[in-house]
Structure 1
Amino acid sequence: MAPHTNKFLGILDLETEFPPNPTPPAVGSMLNSNSYILPVITEVVAGGRVEAVMRGDPELEPAFIAAAQRLVERGAVAITSYCGAAIRYQAALAAAVDVPVLTSSLMMVPLLLKQLPPQKKLAVLTFDSKSFNRDWLGLDSSDAHDRVVVGGVEGGTLSENEGMCPPQVTDTVDIERDISRAVERLREDNPDIGALLFSCTLFPPATPKIRQVAELPVYDITTLCRTTLQSLDILGGHQ
């Protein structure tokens, strides 16, 4: 459980036309303070609709920076994002605030490829593989790109619920089922997958179950956030 403190993990949230959902974050959610050694706080990126973030609208950069600066003013010692596509704004955000910035789990891709044997592949699981931009992987060589396969949960329960007006909360068991099916599809053509990386920030509640079922290492945005927070002396050595 996150302790009472004046230090926080700051999360950049996107703008939506719907009121906040009153349902508490699920166990394991990146929005759940109990997922970390610090509680979370959020700031909405003005104008940051998911469609604009996905296409990397450059006009959103000042709004992202302003929201990040507000988080720091409120006590954030590290900043992340509730949308993996915000990796487009990683460089600008890191230059604008004096705390670690980790906009997406995709920042781990080069590291994970180096951890795996060269004959193994990394599977990236995303919300919609058709909308995924491989430029987000941060890889320079075609050989590295060939070792990354991408799958999505489009057509599943999570996709259906998120497409409703307003979006509906999806039970963790349904997210687990959607991801398991996506992993199975990827493995049919890629039996040499050595690890899984979740790029979608809605997936972390399912991570423990997928580790068990897939029998593979599974990484998500909370993995990166926890590692970053644990690297900081934020609790006076009592971590």
Structure 2
Amino acid sequence: MVHEAGNTKKARLGILMLDTRFPRVPGDVGNAATWPFPVRFGVVAGATPQAIVCEDISPFVDAFVAKGKELVAEGCTGIATTCGFLAPIRPRLADALGVPVAASALEQFAQISANLPPGACVGILTISKTSLTAQHLEAAGVAPDAPIAGMEGTGFADAILNNRESLDVPAARAEMVAVAEGLVRAHPEVGAVLLECTNMPPYAPDIAHATGRPVFSIVSYLRWFQVGLLPPRFGD
């Protein structure tokens, strides 16, 4: 379910969407109201959450490229994707599209790490720890020993990965907070939490409040990305 209101000719940022039907609540990457600037959405047919997170993404690369080319032709000067597990295809997308590509929220890892005090590290919250491989981490520049917690066994993961038509938002919030609290309890050295999944940002304020750590996500990443695509004017 994509909020088509986000599609505007003024958009510099094009967002490649997975083929989904679960609710895109405010704060979700696929809800146009999440963004304080125009965006254009493009759905990659057949690229379901299950296929991208848990299966081989190779068969979908050409489809991502084709949809990305459509967005560029429509005026987008930067492209993003909507799943942290797409980090491995970022170089291929950037080469084929000829514009900057932000493929995964995980690509913020190095910068966040550089901002933390000595002895602190970035902890990752992912929809599926079992599916997040060394290939994904290396492609996004994530340290191989980064603490990671997954949402396996939760209603949130079931709704997203199985592409349900409904999502219990209060329950998802409670699940997310519980897993994040477990992450920092097991790894007190975690100085910031990074959300791999682009459907997690609606719960970022609750995670930050519960853990006492700053929380970064696809929202923080693409707001930074957009400022480069269209620098704001001051004083005019």
TM-score range with shorter-chain normalisation? 0.7 to 0.9
RMSD (Å), alpha carbons: 2.9
Between the aligned partners of 1:169 and 1:156, the Cα distance in structure 2 is 11
Matches of 2:116 and 2:232, distance apart in 1: 33
Alignment of 1:11-90 (within 5 A): 11-15=15-19, 20=21, 25-54=24-53, 55-90=55-90
User: Residue 56 of structure 1 contacts residue 88 of structure 1 at CA under 8 Å; is this kept in 2?
Assistant: no
Q: Deviations over 1:188-209 (max 9, x none)?
A: 3211111000001110111122
- Choose from 213, 220, 234 the match for 1:216: 213
| Count of aligned positions | 230
Instruction: Determine the C-alpha separation between the residues in 1 that align with 2:235 and 2:29.
Output: 22
**Deviation by residue 1:69-106 (Cα, 9 ceiling, x = unmatched):** 11112232321112111112100111122332101101
1:89-124 C-alpha deviation (Å, 9 max, x unpaired): 100111122332101101111222222234212110
What is the distance in 2 between the residues matched to 1:179 and 1:26? 15
| Structure 1 match to 2:3 | none
169, 174, 178: which is aligned to 1:177? 174
TM-score normalised by structure 1 residue count: 0.83
Report SS of the residue matched to 2:77: strand
Distance 2:186 2:164 in 1: 36
Aligned to 2:155: 157
Rounded Cα–Cα distance in structure 1 between residues aligned with 2:199 and 2:216: 13
CA distance in 2: counterparts of 1:93 and 1:43, whole angstroms: 14
**Matched residues in 2 for 1:60 and 1:5: separation?**
26
Q: Which runs of 5+ in 1 are unaligned?
A: none
Q: State how far apart, in whole Å, the 1-side matches of 2:141 and 2:16 are.
A: 31
Once the two structures are TM-superposed, the CA of residue 215 in structure 1 deviates from its matched residue by 1.3
Question: In 2, are the aligned partners of 1:107 and 1:137 still within 8 Å (CA)?
Answer: no
Q: 2 CA distance for matches of 1:27 and 1:141?
A: 29
* 1:106 aligned partner: 106
* CA 1:165–1:53: 2 relative to 1, 3 Å: closer
